[in-house]
Chain A
Amino acid sequence: MASTAPVRKAMTGKAVTRAPRDTAHEGFLTHKRGRWAKVALTLSIVAMGAYLLTDPVPRHNGGTWLGYLLGSIGAGMIVWLSLLGVRKRVIGSKPFSLKGWTSAHVYLGLSLIVIGTLHTGFQLGWNVHTLAWALMMIVILSGLWGISLYANLPERLSANRGEVTQLQMLEAIRTLDRQLDTAAQPLGGEDAEFVRMSLEQCTIAGSLRQRLFGNYASDGNARALAAISEKVMAGLRSGRADDRLQQIQFLLERKEAALAQARRHISLKTQLELWLYVHVPVTIALLAALLAHIISVFLYW
């Protein structure tokens, strides 16, 4: 049967055959067995070798032939690296995968520490040139910070939230609020005030500082829980336990637990996001400083 093979192929029932793919996940750090790590390392070593083997007079700086060469390479790299933000918005563009692009972004970005710093010849001062270098270093270090976060935090993030979505976390808190509201209706003025504190003065996320460091001791719910717990304890000691207050205490405790879970989630997400609030705006400022640096050098040629 000469036609067996084509027939069998046609019988797979798939219109499009999927490309063979590793089942194990390969992150951008290990993409293509660290191809870009090797490229970046080579680039750095060549740059350092050239720096050490040349002896310009009076000293190394951006104005020697090596300085201009490193500066040109560095400026080109900065512009290309900053284009990751554009590339990731273009879905499915060829020929390079976004993962490969990201891998190159990370490793070439790290080699920029060497290229950019050798370009300065360690001649730093209070000027636009050193500003560009400093912004570049901030961008690179914040990127490094981001990578280290991506290596650890997602696991903790998913462990914290279990199977719960963010919206479900909020709903849980809102439900408890409604229960509290209902349960507090028979309460007298002072006790009702405490419940209102939990309902009206409770901030789930709060300021950047609170999000990062999780300090919510002065939050409405925490204060309400403390006050109600004290009253319940006092009631228990005097032998006149108030069932309604105990119910409120129970609800406040549950709300506190729901808040804690949401806030852990917020804290992790804040860390995952915060580095980008440095990385991206400083990159744009760096591009501006780079422009000012290059134009001013040639203007005062």
Chain B
Amino acid sequence: MSFIVRQVAKRADGGDIIRTRTLVQAELTVGRGTDCDIQLADLAVMLRHARLVKITADKVSVETTGGVPVEVGGKFVTRADLTIADNPTIDVGPYRLSLSPGEDGAVAITATRVVPPIEAADAAQETSIFSLSGAMPTRRRMAWVGALAVLVLLFLVPLFHFIGEDQADLPKDMVAEAARPITPGQAFGDGKLSVPTARPAAAGGFAPDESWSSGTLSNAHASLSNNCGACHQKAFVSVTDGACQACHTKAALPDHAAPARMARGRLPETGVMGAAHSAFNLPQGRCTSCHKEHEGEATVMTVAESFCTDCHSGLNGRLPDTAVANVPGWAKHPDFRATLVSSPSLDKPVFTRTALAGAREKSGLIYPHDIHQSTTNAVANMAQKQRLPVGADGALPCSYCHKADSDQVRFKPIDMEANCGACHDLAFARDGGTVRTLPHGKPAQVAGIIRDFTLSESFAPRAGVQRLSFDRRLPGKAPPPLSGGNPAARAQAAVVSVFTGKGLCTECHVITDTGAADLTRRFTIAPVSINDHYLPQGQFPHGKHKSYDAKTGQAACVACHTGVMKSKASTDVNIPGVANCRECHGAPAKTLLSNTAKAGASCDTCHGYHDGVAPGAPLPAGHVQPARVAGRQAAGRNRQTPA
């Protein structure tokens, strides 16, 4: 009945120290306590952990005594019978007791520490404890992950999207909108060309190369925000005019001038800027030279004044045959040359650009502005009696004849019946309940009507027919009876009186008596062309100028059109000069703190760039379309420009 206990301890150099004891007893105690037969010095072992009892010659039972189980054959048990011949093992804490048959029927027990004790500090631990390498991934790994993530997500993915992208599908409604011609003279500053809210992005969702966008697209182009290839068609090639003109056709947005002349007129780039633009493949004069995209909502429309004066300040030096005067800037803007009617015609009036000083216009109409603006004369009297909308001063207001057109830029064409007819009525007789009137603008019809009326009165006079006098007269006053012999002569006299007498045609028109035998062809009326666009190269939105220098209404009109109250003839040109505009435009505001101009003075305040080579034509519907502009001076207006 004996146990041979061998306790194995590790030496510092790695070798084993084996202490062997032979205990002659039937029972062994195992534990941490110093009184145990097998002392296992580890706090995981109970003071008295277990008891080994030799039951038979070849069997030993193990029984825990400390309440903590032992591990036998992979199982935690509190009690087990072990066959020595099987060489069983018992794990107690970090120790393993290996049982085997010993000499002389003894049980040999080898106690070995199988779980190493807490190690001593070493240099490797020092690094992991005292530096962040123990708590963080290495900087090198983080750098690789970050850099690769950026390169893949923001460079390679967009790049492959660009390479794999088919030819862009342009949104149909955008293309349709772009193809709609703009009204010539329409300035960008007036807000009509702006798109107030961003168009929605086209179908297809987010495109990876959107991450390359340098800024928000303008509202008008926002549909293209996920369609970079619509404009950026070729890698490393700056956006071409072709990309713009895929939507903005030349028909809708004509060239400013013929491209070849534009190229010659442009100030050539020199120095560093020129070298840089040439080195980086940025030819000048492209759409994108002026129109910068990716600058936010409305900025694609913003163009600097210097872009205009770049060319126009010394244009005649580079383009000697130009008809356009040099414009170094607003302060030195040449005075206006009004486009005046030089030869009135019913169908082909001729206009001539003329310097304002001393200019006369040949509209063919007789019309003194002064007597129509009086507050006291017969005109005023009649207007009041007719209950026309006279002003507070009793005179006819400008707006009685000059009615703003739909876009408030210019005025509706003067119309005889609407604007003159209230006073200058063409009634010639009262026939029972009917007032007989003459048709305006049809002299042959007038002659015929008067002749036939007079003849019928001679041959078959009817009761209730009263001839009316054309002379301005008190109401109810009968005209003097027609004198003369036979009815034909009376009829002829009546016709002559209509065309040559006071109060009717001659009031406004120049009549020529051709002496023709045919009474309906005898009198011709000089053609009248009333100008309604004196400065067609620019635009003057009258609607925006309803008040001027604290004046409104009539006074505001007269403030600029100063001569009109004293104008005795329609040949007077009452168009204000450029100095008049400068009183506000570009003039410093009269406040203590603000130094900003009272009103804008950039070129596009008045001028459009994309009006084509013939700005001003066609005019809005309803206006007389000028057939041609005569003379060298107007060459810029509708010339077929040679290269």
Interface set of A (CB-CB < 8 Å, partner B): 57-59, 61-63, 65, 68, 123, 125-129, 131, 166-167, 170-171, 173-174, 177, 181, 184-189, 192-193, 195-196, 199-200, 204-208, 211, 262, 265-266, 269-270, 273-274, 276-277, 280-285, 287-289, 291-292, 295-301
A-B contact pairs, 23 of them (CB 8 A): A59-B296, A65-B273, A65-B276, A127-B210, A166-B126, A171-B121, A192-B44, A199-B118, A206-B135, A211-B135, A270-B135, A276-B139, A280-B142, A281-B143, A284-B143, A284-B147, A285-B143, A285-B146, A296-B155, A299-B159, A299-B235, A300-B212, A301-B236
Smallest CB gap from A274: residue in B: B132
Tell me if B214 and A127 are in contact (CB < 8 A).
Answer: yes
Give Cα distance in the complex from A58 to B130, angstroms.
55
Smallest CB gap from B117: residue in A: A181
Tell me if B129 and A280 are in contact (CB < 8 A).
Answer: no
Give Cα distance in the complex from A65 to B276, angstroms.
9
Question: Which of these binds chain A: B299-307, B316-324, B354-362, B556-564?
Answer: B299-307
Do A298 and B236 contact each other (CB < 8 Å), given the known contacts A189-B47, A285-B150, A292-B150?
yes
Whether a CB of chain A sits under 8 angstroms from the CB of B292 is yes
The residues of A that contact B303 with a CB separation of less than 8 Å are 57
**Contact among A174, A196, A289 for B120, CB-based, below 8 A:** A174
Q: How many A-B residue pairs have CB under 8 A?
A: 182
Whether a CB of chain A sits under 8 angstroms from the CB of B67 is yes
**Contact among A63, A127, A288 for B213, CB-based, below 8 A:** A127
Do A273 and B143 contact each other (CB < 8 Å), given the known contacts A61-B214, A285-B150, A299-B236?
no
The residues of B that contact A298 with a CB separation of less than 8 Å are 236, 280
Tell me if B146 and A195 are in contact (CB < 8 A).
Answer: no
Chain B CB within 10 A, most for which of A125, A193, A199, A300: A300
Minimum C-beta distance from A206 to chain B (A): 7
Tell me if B32 and A285 are in contact (CB < 8 A).
Answer: no
Give Cα distance in the complex from A299 to B543, angstroms.
47
Known: A127-B211, A181-B118. 6 other contacts (CB 8 A): A205-B134, A292-B151, A299-B162, A299-B236, A300-B212, A301-B236
Do A62 and B135 contact each other (CB < 8 Å), given the known contacts A184-B43, A288-B150?
no
Whether a CB of chain A sits under 8 angstroms from the CB of B68 is yes
The residues of A that contact B292 with a CB separation of less than 8 Å are 57-58, 63
The residues of B that contact A188 with a CB separation of less than 8 Å are 47
Give Cα distance in the complex from A181 to B143, angstroms.
44
**Contact among B41, B120, B144, B148 for A185, CB-based, below 8 A:** B41
Whether a CB of chain A sits under 8 angstroms from the CB of B197 is no
Tell me if B130 and A277 are in contact (CB < 8 A).
Answer: no
Whether a CB of chain A sits under 8 angstroms from the CB of B441 is no
**Contact among A61, A177, A207, A211 for B118, CB-based, below 8 A:** A177
Tell me if B142 and A281 are in contact (CB < 8 A).
Answer: yes
**B 314-350 to A, binary, CB cutoff 8 A, 1 in contact else 0:** 0000000000000000000000000000000000000
The residues in B between 123 and 176 inclusive whose CB is less than 8 angstroms from any CB of A are 123, 125-126, 128-132, 134-136, 139, 142-151, 154-155, 158-159, 162
Smallest CB gap from A57: residue in B: B304
Do A167 and B162 contact each other (CB < 8 Å), given the known contacts A58-B302, A281-B139, A299-B235?
no
Whether a CB of chain A sits under 8 angstroms from the CB of B88 is no
Minimum C-beta distance from B193 to chain A (A): 15
Give Cα distance in the complex from A207 to B128, angstroms.
11
Whether a CB of chain A sits under 8 angstroms from the CB of B571 is no
Give Cα distance in the complex from A282 to B296, angstroms.
30
Tell me if B130 and A284 are in contact (CB < 8 A).
Answer: no
4 interchain residue pairs of minimum CB distance: A285-B146, A170-B121, A284-B143, A57-B304
The residues of A that contact B237 with a CB separation of less than 8 Å are 301
The residues of B that contact A171 with a CB separation of less than 8 Å are 120-121
Tell me if A123 and B139 are in contact (CB < 8 A).
Answer: no
Chain B CB within 10 A, most for which of A68, A171, A291: A291
Do A186 and B214 contact each other (CB < 8 Å), given the known contacts A205-B134, A285-B146?
no
Give Cα distance in the complex from A58 to B44, angstroms.
78
Tell me if A285 and B135 are in contact (CB < 8 A).
Answer: no
Tell me if A288 and B129 are in contact (CB < 8 A).
Answer: no
The residues of B that contact A181 with a CB separation of less than 8 Å are 43, 117-118
Tell me if B299 and A296 are in contact (CB < 8 A).
Answer: no
Give Cα distance in the complex from A281 to B34, angstroms.
57
Chain A CB within 10 A, most for which of B117, B147, B159, B296: B147
Smallest CB gap from B232: residue in A: A300
Minimum C-beta distance from A88 to chain B (A): 14
Tell me if B150 and A125 are in contact (CB < 8 A).
Answer: no
Do A131 and B154 contact each other (CB < 8 Å), given the known contacts A174-B118, A270-B132?
yes
Smallest CB gap from A271: residue in B: B132
Give Cα distance in the complex from A289 to B238, angstroms.
22
Whether a CB of chain A sits under 8 angstroms from the CB of B216 is yes
**B 216-238 to A, binary, CB cutoff 8 A, 1 in contact else 0:** 10000000000010001001111
